[in-house]
Amino acid sequence: MSADVDRIFDTLAEHRAREAGATLPGLFAADPERFNRFSLRLDDLLLDYSKTSLTETTRALLLDLARAAGVEAKRDAMLSGVPINLTEKRAVLHTALRRRAGEVVLVDGQDVMPEVAGVLAAMGVFAEGVRAGTVTGEGGERFTDVVNIGIGGSDLGPAMATLALAPYHDGPRLHFVSNVDGAHLYDTLKSLDPKTTLFIVASKTFTTQETMANARSARAWLAGALGEKAVGSHFAAVSTALDKVAAFGIASDRIFGFWDWVGGRYSIWSAVGLPLMIAIGTEAFRSFLDGATDLDAHFATAPLEENLPVLLALTGIWHRDICGYATRAVIPYDQHLARLPAYLQQLDMESNGKRVTREGKPVSHDTGPVVWGEPGTNGQHAFFQLIHQGTSPVPVEFLIAARGHEPGLERHHAMLMANCLAQSEALMRGRTLEEARDQLLAKGVGAEEADRLAPHRVFPGSRPSVSIAYGILDPYALGRIIALYEHRVFVEGAIWDINSFDQWGVELGKELADTLLPAVESGVAPPSLSGSSAGLLAHLTAQAVA
C-alpha cells in the first residue's frame, strides 16, 4: 500500500474524530438537498447513501483514496485481461462472459469472445432442448426435474439467481445439491423419478470432494434404476477440467466448458449458469447478461464520483476502516433475493477475507467485513433488535423493488416497502430519552414508571444504512445488482491492495479433511491429531454404533 494511501487513511481518521459529534438527523436538517447530493442513479437503479455519516469532505477524501490506490488503473487492467490474479497467474475476465457478440476481449493476445459465444450457443441449444422436451432421458421421456450438483460458486450463483427469477421460471423444476451431508442428496432424490431427472455436475476443478461424492452417488442412484447405459443421457457437466469430466463418463456433447480466468464465485455468467438458463430460457438469460454488461460499461466509464460500485465500495471502506464496524448486513426486502446474502458472503468474504497485500506483506488496514443477512421483513422479528439497540453499530444495505410480480397482492408490496423505509428511517432517527419518556406519559403511564421504562426504549439513532432501489426484479435488474456487488468487492480489494481473486484460506481445512477421512472410517486417530479432535473422534466413533 502506498504512502499516499496510508496518509489519506490517516486524514480520514482525523476527519472522523473531528466530525464525531455530527448526527444523521443533523446532517439532513442542515442540508435539505442531502438525498440528491448523496445518491446516484443509473435509470431505475438508485443507490442512496445519504443515511451514512459521509459529508462532502468525507466523500472527497474517499475519492482521493480510491485515486491514490490506483482504482481506475486496476479496473482497466482487470477489464482488459491483464493477469491481475498474481498468485495464480490468471486474468480475471468474468466480465467477458456477458459481453455482447462481436466484441473483442484479448487474453494472451487471443480473442476469447468466439469461444465464449460458442459455449453460450451450445448451452442455449441444450437448454432449449430440455425445455422443449427434445433433449430427453434414456427412455425418451421429457425431463421434469434438473438437479445441479456443485458447491460454492458452482452452486450459490445458480441457486440464488433461480430463486430470484422465480416469476420467469417456466422450465423444468430445479434442485440444488451442494452439501456432502448425504441428507442433501437423499432428501432431494426421494421425490424424484430417475426416468425424468437430469443431473448437471458443476465444478470448475472437477475435484471438489463434496461435488464428486454427490455426483458418484447420484450416478449410482440413476444407474441402479435405469442401468449404466442411461448415465449418458441423464448427466451433463460444467467444468474447466474437460479431461476429468470425460473420465467421469459424461459425453462430450454434454460438457460445457469455461476457463481458468473465471473465478468460481464469479462464474454464474459462464456455463455454471446452465440451470438458470434451463429455468428461464435463453432470451431471459441474455437479458441477465445484458444487465451485468451494462453495469460493467458504467463501472468502466463513469467518473469515480458518479460511479455506483465505487461509491458503494467507499461507504464500505468508510464503515470498515474508519468507523471500525466489523460486519455489514445485507437485507433484501425482496423474498426472491432470499439467497443473495449467502451468495454475497462467498463473493465478498472469499474475495476480500485476506491478510496480506498483493506483494505478500501484512495489510495495514482491516480488510473484508463479515457479510450477513436475511430478507426483510423476517429479519425485523429476529436480529434487528441488536441493529437498533445493540452496542456495535451494523451498517445495513437494504434492497427494494418499486414493484412486485404478484397480481392481487399489491398491498403486500406496499407493506413491504413501508417496512423497508421505516427501518432505515428508524435506524437514522433513533429516539431520545425525553421522547421515550414523553411517549410513555402520553400513553397514561405514571411518571415513576415512565422513568424506569424510558431507558429501555431509547434508540441511539444515527445508525448507517445504504438503500439500493430498482424497478422490478427481472433478469436485467438482477444482472445489474450482481455486477454492482462484484465491482464493489473489486474496488474495496483494490484500495486494500489485496488479491481479491484467489482463496488460499480454504485449502488447509480441505487438506485436513482428506487426511482425516481414513481416521473417521477406522476410528483410529493419527498421533498428530490434537487432544480435542482425538477426543471428539473417540466420542463420535463410540456413539456411531449406539
Q: Quick check: is 381 catalytic?
A: yes
Of 26 and 505, the one with the shorter C-beta distance to ligand F6P is 505
**Binding to ligand F6P by residue 513, rule CB under 6 A?**
no
**Binding to ligand F6P by residue 211, rule CB under 6 A?**
yes
Q: At 59, which amino acid appears?
A: R
Q: For the CA atoms of the chain, what is the radius of gyration?
A: 25
Q: Which of 350, 374, 397, 486 is catalytic?
A: 350
The answer to whether the CB of 254 falls within 8 A of the CB of 126 is yes
Tell me the C-alpha distance between 309 and 85, whole Å: 20
Q: Which of 81, 137, 153, 479 binds ligand F6P (CB under 6 A)?
A: 153
**Binding to ligand F6P by residue 352, rule CB under 6 A?**
no
**Binding to ligand F6P by residue 208, rule CB under 6 A?**
yes
Of 55 and 154, the one with the shorter C-beta distance to ligand F6P is 154
Cβ atoms within 10 Å, residue 474: 20
Q: Which of 141, 283, 412, 510 is catalytic?
A: 510
Residue with cell 473417540: 538
Of 334 and 350, the one with the shorter C-beta distance to ligand F6P is 350
Taken in order 316, 319, 320, 321, is the CA torsion positive or negative? positive
Query: 3-class DSSP state for residue 201?
Result: strand
Residue with cell 471438489: 208
Q: Which one of the spans 60-68, 146-154, 369-377, 421-429 is the region binding ligand F6P (CB under 6 A)?
A: 146-154
The answer to whether the CB of 180 falls within 8 A of the CB of 150 is no
**Binding to ligand F6P by residue 178, rule CB under 6 A?**
no
Residue 413, C-beta contacts closer than 8 angstroms, at least 6 positions apart: 401, 403, 404, 406
Q: Which one of the spans 84-92, 139-147, 150-158, 332-340 is the region binding ligand F6P (CB under 6 A)?
A: 150-158
Q: Which one of the spans 149-157, 173-181, 294-302, 415-423 is the region binding ligand F6P (CB under 6 A)?
A: 149-157
Q: Which one of the spans 147-155, 313-321, 373-381, 452-460 is the region binding ligand F6P (CB under 6 A)?
A: 147-155
Q: Quick check: is 336 catalytic?
A: no
- Which among 398, 392, 390 is positioned nearest to 324, based on CA atoms? 392
Q: CB of residue 156 vs ligand F6P: minimum separation in angstroms?
A: 8
Q: At 529, which amino acid appears?
A: L
**Binding to ligand F6P by residue 506, rule CB under 6 A?**
yes
Tell me the C-alpha distance between 440 and 453, whole Å: 8
Q: Which of 381, 443, 448, 456 is catalytic?
A: 381
Tell me the C-alpha distance between 337 and 404, whole Å: 12
**Binding to ligand F6P by residue 188, rule CB under 6 A?**
no
Q: Give the x/- contact pattern for ligand F6P in 54-93, rule: CB under 6 A.
A: ----------------------------------------
Of 382 and 508, the one with the shorter C-beta distance to ligand F6P is 508
**Binding to ligand F6P by residue 265, rule CB under 6 A?**
yes
- Report the 3 state secondary structure along 335-401: HHHCCHHHHHHHHHHHHHCCCECCCCCECCCCCCCEEECCCCCHHHHCCHHHHHHCCCCCCEEEEEE
Taken in order 422, 425, 427, 431, is the CA torsion positive or negative? negative
Number of residues that bind ligand F6P (CB under 6 A): 14
List interacting residues with ligand F6P (CB under 6 A): 151-154, 203-205, 208, 211, 264-265, 350, 503, 506
Active site residues: 350, 381, 510
